[in-house]
Structures are given as structure tokens and as C-alpha cells.
Amino acid sequence: MQLFYAPDFTPPLYTLSEEESKHCVRVLRMTVGDKLHITDGKGTLYECRVVDAAPKRCVVEVVATHEEFERMSYRLTMAVAPTKNIERFEWFLEKATEVGVSRFIPLLCDHSERREIKPEREQKVITSAMKQSLKAYHPELAPMTPFKKVVSEATEAVKLIAHCEKRERIFLPKAVEKGADTLILIGPEGDFSPEEIAFAVEHGFREITLGDARLRTETAAVVATVMVSTVNQM
């Protein structure tokens, strides 16, 4: 299945962007009558056929519509401190999108080594992963947000903070509630500061562990995403 992303999609006829038209006609060598799929990133999957195979303005026609295509039974927000090496953070965005995430929040923490990201670049990583994994929901990407703002404004039913401090913590799968909106905080390479952990606990966050292994930021974030997905599929 060839999946294209068009957040402004309007049926029944739609003209692909110049970039997508070129990919469709020149790269995939599609011609009139060929079938493809388009998503608006909001859960709707459109089955379409090519009616005009112009390489700069390819026009498609909707032949079938699927609402809430493979909609997840839960909402997961991953608030993660971007790594100093941005490629590691982008690897997390890609893999977590494949597994299933509703929203990403880049966290600005006391020990953060990276204090800014390039939203357009990260959006492209997320979009590419969404298309390759054939999903109809495009995860949201929030701007870089200070830790205390994320914690104090959290409204999710399940709020969790992962850290490596020698404190009593719950193994993540035991803290997840099936079907519940969940927010997980993953800190930078230097972990969350004691003050940040205390602030999160004061605001109703539960302290969690991902197991005995000491994981890098991006690995911990992917492991957490997979654990939540697994619990929700059991």
C-alpha cells in the first residue's frame, strides 16, 4: 500500500503537492487508474485512484473512505528531553511513531544538554515514519517546553516519571492502566534532578522504573512506548 500524507485533503478530487506528485508519477511510476492511499493524519484513510498523472499536479479521486483507521484504544504522550546528538532523538521519534504515540513533548530540564530543536525537521521525521508504518494518525509535536510547565499543566489520568534515583519505583507495566490517557516523562542523559523528581511527585506523578538495565534517553523512551503498547494489547 502506497500511503501519502495530505493534512488539507478534501474529497472527492484532490491535487497532490508538487513534491508528492513527483514522487507518485516519477518515482513510483503511477499512471491513470492506479490506486493509492491518502491520510489526513487525523484518522481518515482515503482509497484513491489517479485521474490525471501530471508530474507536478497529480490529481486523484476518492473511491472509498475509512474513518478512524486503526485508531488506538489509548492516548500516549511522551515528554522526552532531546539528546545532545539530535539524531538519537530523531531515532526515538521515528520508532515511537511506528509503535504508536499521540503526542511528543520535547522537555527542557535542569540537566538538558540540548535546549532547542528544529520543529520542521522533526515533523518530517514523524511524517515519514507515519507513512512508512501505514498509520492514519499523525502524532502531535509540541514546542520545546520547560519541565515544570509540562508537569503543572498535565491532565492525563496516568502520569509517570522515569528516573534512576535510588528511590521506591514501580515497574512501568504495573503502573499503566489499559485504555487510559498516559503521560510519561523521560529525562536527559544526566537524568532528572532531585528537585524535578520531587516537583513531579508533588503534582501527582508516580515514579517508575523500566527494569534493571541502565538505558540511554532515546532507548528508555522507546522501551516505555513499547511497554505501554503491549499492556494495551493484552
Domain limit, last residue, from 66, 86, 108: 66
Residue 138 in any domain: the answer is yes
Residue 175 in any domain: the answer is yes
Is 140 in the same domain as 189?
A: yes
Residue 71 in any domain: the answer is no
Is 120 in the same domain as 9?
A: no
Is 171 in the same domain as 205?
A: yes
Residue with cell string 511528543: 104
Average pLDDT for the chain: 95
pLDDT at 1: 78
Q: Provide long-range contacts, Cβ within 8 A and 24+ apart, for 226-233.
A: 226/99, 227/172, 227/173, 227/176, 228/74, 228/76, 228/172, 228/176, 228/182, 228/184, 229/76, 229/99, 229/100, 230/173, 231/173, 231/176, 231/178, 232/72, 232/73, 232/74, 232/176, 232/178, 232/179
The pLDDT tens digits for 8-61 are 998 899 999 998 899 999 999 999 999 999 999 999 999 999 999 999 999 999
The pLDDT tens digits for 93-116 are 999 999 999 999 999 999 999 999
Neighbours of 93 (CB within 10 A): 28
The pLDDT tens digits for 76-86 are 999 999 999 99
Residue with cell string 504522550: 77
What is the domain count for the chain? 2
